[in-house]
């Protein structure tokens, strides 16, 4: 434990060191950087974080982060509201949006079932999804969660919950990454990519 020459400095280092992936050395470097900036800039930094936490909204329809009641994806009438992609968090929405291959809407769970982290099925935000599905507005839901035990458990839980509805339930394809050489692919991925082989014509179409 280092003996900081200033209580203010120590407090700021402690605050930064609470953030994920930031150790005390990095925290000190960030704090000293802030000290070198104009007071106005640092005030803005602090106020931006406070404003973010106090004013952020979550889309009342899909649970995505939003400045408005309904996020810009859910509010976009040119998108197909009958297909819903289930993702864990907002980074996943950004990743899929970046592909420009998806024109449906999303449902952000805000977490996946993980008994180790104390997240049970009750913690998943499924109310508005259930509402939409029960109103027969939805034709298909696509699971796009991590391929981990937690992700698979969550997929299965949601599948069981909604399987009585007349909707298609799919998951995103798992297989060897484009550009990867076969010899470096792990067995499970390779095995699944053989099992779920796709007609060659569909790859030609792209």
Binding site for a second copy (CB under 8 A): 2-9, 11-12, 15, 18-22, 26, 28-35, 37, 39, 42-57, 59, 64-67, 71-73, 89-91, 93-94, 97-98
In the beta sheet, which residues pair with residue 140? 83, 168
| CB count in 10 Å sphere of residue 111 | 15
Least Cβ distance, residue 185 to a second copy (angstroms): 25
6/78 with CB nearer a second copy: 6
Distance CA 87, CA 98 (A): 15
Pairwise CA distance, residues 108 & 70, whole Å? 13
The CB-of-108 to a second copy minimum distance in angstroms stands at 10
Give 48 or 196: the residue with its C-beta nearer to a second copy. 48
B/e letters for 81-90, b = 16+ CB within 10 Å, e = fewer, are eebbbbbbeb
Measured from the CB atom, is 10 or 152 closer to a second copy? 10
DSSP code, position 192:
H
**How far apart are CB 8 and a second copy at their closest, in Å?**
5
Query: Cβ closer to a second copy: 21 or 199?
Result: 21
Torsion of CA 67, 69, 70, 72, to 10 degrees: -20
Min CB(161)–a second copy separation in Å? 25
Residue number with CB closer to a second copy (75 or 167): 75
Burial of 152 (C-beta count, 10 Å sphere; 0-12/13-18/19+): middle
In angstroms, the Cα distances linking 88 to 15, 112, 136, 140 are 27, 6, 23, 18
Q: C-beta of 18: minimal distance to a second copy in Å? A: 8
């Amino acid at each position: 434990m280092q003996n900081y020459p200033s209580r203010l400095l120590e407090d700021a280092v402690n605050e930064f060191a609470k953030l994920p992936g930031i150790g005390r050395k990095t925290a000190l470097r960030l704090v000293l950087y802030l000290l070198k900036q104009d007071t106005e800039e640092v005030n803005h930094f602090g106020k931006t974080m406070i404003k973010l936490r106090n004013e952020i909204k979550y889309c009342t329809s899909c649970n995505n982060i939003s400045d408005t009641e309904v996020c810009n994806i859910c509010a976009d009438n040119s998108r197909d509201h009958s297909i819903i992609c289930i993702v864990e968090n907002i980074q996943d929405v950004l990743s899929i949006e970046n592909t420009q291959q998806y024109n449906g809407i999303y449902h952000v769970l805000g977490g996946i079932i993980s008994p180790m982290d104390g997240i049970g099925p009750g913690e998943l935000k499924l109310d508005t999804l259930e509402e939409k599905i029960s109103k027969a507005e939805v034709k298909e839901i696509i699971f796009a969660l991590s391929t981990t035990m937690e992700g698979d458990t969550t997929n299965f839980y949601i599948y069981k919950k909604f399987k009585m509805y007349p909707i298609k339930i799919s998951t995103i394809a798992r297989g060897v990454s484009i550009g990867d050489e076969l010899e470096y692919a792990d067995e499970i991925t390779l095995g699944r990519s053989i099992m779920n082989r796709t007609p060659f014509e569909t790859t030609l179409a792209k």
